[in-house]
Structure formats: C-alpha cells, structure tokens
Amino acid sequence: MGDFMSYDKLEVWVSSRKLTNKVYSLSKLFPKEEVYGLTSQLRRCAVSVPSNIAEGVGRNHRKDSLQFFYIARGSLFELETQLYIAFDQNYIEESVLKNILDDVVACKKLLNGFINYYKSKI
C-alpha cells in the first residue's frame, strides 16, 4: 500500500499539518519562559502527527505502518492534554481552546478512519 500512496495527498495528513501550523501560531503568544517548556512540548507533539503519518506511509511493512499511525494518534491525545494545560495556565482563552480542540477532534476522527481503512487492506 505504501508503494503507491502519496502521504501529502491524504486528508488526514493535510489536516494534521494545518493543526500543526495553528499550534505554532498559538504558542508564539505564550510567555517567553515557556519556550523550553510547554511551547516546545506542544510543538513537538503537533509536528509528530503529520511526521508519523508520513513515515507510516513510507514503511514497507503494514504492521510498521500501523505502529506509526498509532504513535500519531497518541500524539494527538498528548497535544490535547497540553492545550488544556495551556488554558489552565491562562495562556489561551476558552474560545481559542474550544476552537483548536475542535481541530484536534477532527484530526482524531480522520486518523481513526484512516487506521481502520488501512487495517482493512491488510
């Protein structure tokens, strides 16, 4: 499957890339003392999602591919938690939190659908 699938055309990859860019923009507003803390953590999690989708598509073995897709899903849950923490620290407003969490949920749904589709092809 990975031989002919182009990850950059996948809706799940495009969506997670957009989410990553939102996280970068949002975290630019965090206090400077968070640059090596929550800012860095959020960005690493966000980057992990499209990166692991791409790496999974590029793998030769389907079990390897699925493992990378599961890592991407785990990163979405980690990102969600860190966004709540950013809200708890008053780095983002509730409306901003709700908006970006909607994007996280949308990515989770796309990724779960993609994982199920991929598993059905095994």
The pLDDT confidence band at residue 61, using thresholds 50, 70 and 90, is confident
Specify the DSSP element, H or E, that contains 57: helix 38-58
Is residue 91 assigned to a domain? yes
Q: Which amino acid is at 37?
A: G
Q: Which residues contact 121 (CB under 8 A, 6 or more apart)?
A: 1, 62
pLDDT at 115: 96
Is residue 2 assigned to a domain? no
The pLDDT confidence band at residue 3, using thresholds 50, 70 and 90, is very low
More confident call, 107 vs 59: 107
Contact 11, 107 (CB under 8 A): no
Is residue 85 assigned to a domain? yes
CATH code for position 104: 1.20.1440.60
Residue 22 has pLDDT above 90, yes or no: yes
Is residue 6 assigned to a domain? no
Rounded average pLDDT over 61-65? 89
Is residue 101 assigned to a domain? yes
Q: The domain containing residue 102 runs over which residues?
A: 12-120
pLDDT at 4: 53
Percentage of the chain beyond pLDDT 90 is 87
> What confidence tens digit (pLDDT) does each residue in 33-55 have?
999 999 999 999 999 999 999 99
Residue with tokens 């003392």: 33
As for how many domains the chain has, the answer is: 1
Is residue 54 assigned to a domain? yes
